[in-house]
Structure 1
Amino acid sequence: MPTPKDDDDVEYERAFHRAQVELVKFQKHVIRNGQKVLLIFEGRDAAGKDGTIKRIVEHLSPRETRVVALGAPSDRDRKSWYFQRYVEHLPIAGEIVLFNRSWYNRAGVERVMRFCTEQEYDEFMQTVPTFEQLLAHCGFTILKYYLDISRKEQEKRLLRRRKDPLRQWKLSPIDAKATKHWKHYSEARNEMLSRTHGVFAPWIVVRADDKRAARLNVIRDLLSRCEFHGKNRHGELPDPDLVSLFDESHLKSGMIAD
């Protein structure tokens, strides 16, 4: 027999249902008005990007929703303009596209693991704000979520991946080096957030040690930032202790994991 759900589980599922109903309203508005919505999800390995994206798209129309999770660049990709392979995946009118990692690979994994040169990294950091400003000028709505977890939580999740045969598809050679390079990833993250946060494409930091709370609050935050027909003006707002626009003070206040 199934285990009875406690009151917290029941309330969580009700809250999630309400949020997903609002998401469906939002998508209908996006389709009707030909909007182009781009959601970017970044974070350390095991930060919860897959699960968060899965819950967002769960009840959305698959025809107007795409999840983009690109693999390692090919030889041709390496010879192309860096943003070129991402451009073809951008949303068209009426679409919502979610990037599970994005062009910010260059500011994170590629930077830490030295998969790019210093020159390539510097060029990216200088040009990405202009690139995103151009997209915004051309009618794209861009929201960038950084899912932040503690070192202890990352270690726990990576261990679970290694032990669970149903999760092992998530394992990669990079995972094995994630905790070893914790400090380097922190430094790369801090520079990325500081230099690429802006009004056209803001970074929204999510404290994601609690997976369920993170998923629910990301959806609430998304809904709070977008206008759409039929929006519940009395709907639940995101918890400001869990989700907030990036600010330099976060790097010293404990809002972001050291």
Structure 2
Amino acid sequence: MKPIELSFEFFPPKTPDGVEKLRATRAQLLTLKPRFVSVTFGAGGSTQQGTLDTIVDIAKEGVDAAPHLSCIGSTKESLREILRQYRSHGIRHIVALRGDLPSGMGEMGELRYASELVAFIREETGDAFHIEVAAYPEYHPQARSPRHDLEAFAKKVKAGANSAITQYFFNADAYFRFLEDARKLGVDVPIVPGIMPITNYTQLMRFSEMCGAEVPRWVAKRLESFGDDRESIRAFGLDVVTDLCRRLIENGAPGLHFYTLNAAGATKAICERLDL
């Protein structure tokens, strides 16, 4: 079996303490030798400077750092300037997303879809960037239909994406079916499953409601039954997510992309259990 490639997602910290916490988290996770790490980009570019600062900080550590870039609420000129800044800092990897329009902001921007953003990056920079895009095994919450969602994904890849990262999920069958359906549409790039460690029941349910990820009823009920018992939640969560990752690896997933929430503990524990 070929080695599994790991990658980790972080978000830009907002305080000096947050910056230090993220550095400590990275110090632990970088021992796992990830292929790259990514840093999120707030709605409408609200964390633009924070994303840049964090990316530059990580790149100094000799790690392939991939900033997220969303097009909603942005002009072509502002996107052009962001790409120029990343290139000037030696960044060669981007996660291209549509993004969400911030509340109160009425302008969609000049590019409405991630496929348009991918095409724009290619027009502006050629092959300067390795471009990741998002995939939704359980369908984007705003998709008109499963078929429409799948075709939108294929369009992003055909616009020039090199690989994809999925929204997190807990049903491996959803991932394998999505993979099969995507291949039938001619998509041949690696599609890496996104993994969300379970450490907090309330937070997990809130995130999942927002992004359309399904938490199986048996998992939700077990987590709910633990109440405020954090240790039991963490132990059960480790079992569930480790079993999911093991099944994905055994059935040929090309890698695992962890949504770390800027914490190392659960992600590292899962990787150690999997002997990665």
TM over 0.5: no
Query: Which has the bigger relative contact order, CA under 8 A and spacing at least 6?
Result: 1
TM-score class normalised by the smaller sequence: 0.3 to 0.5
TM-score by length of 2: 0.36
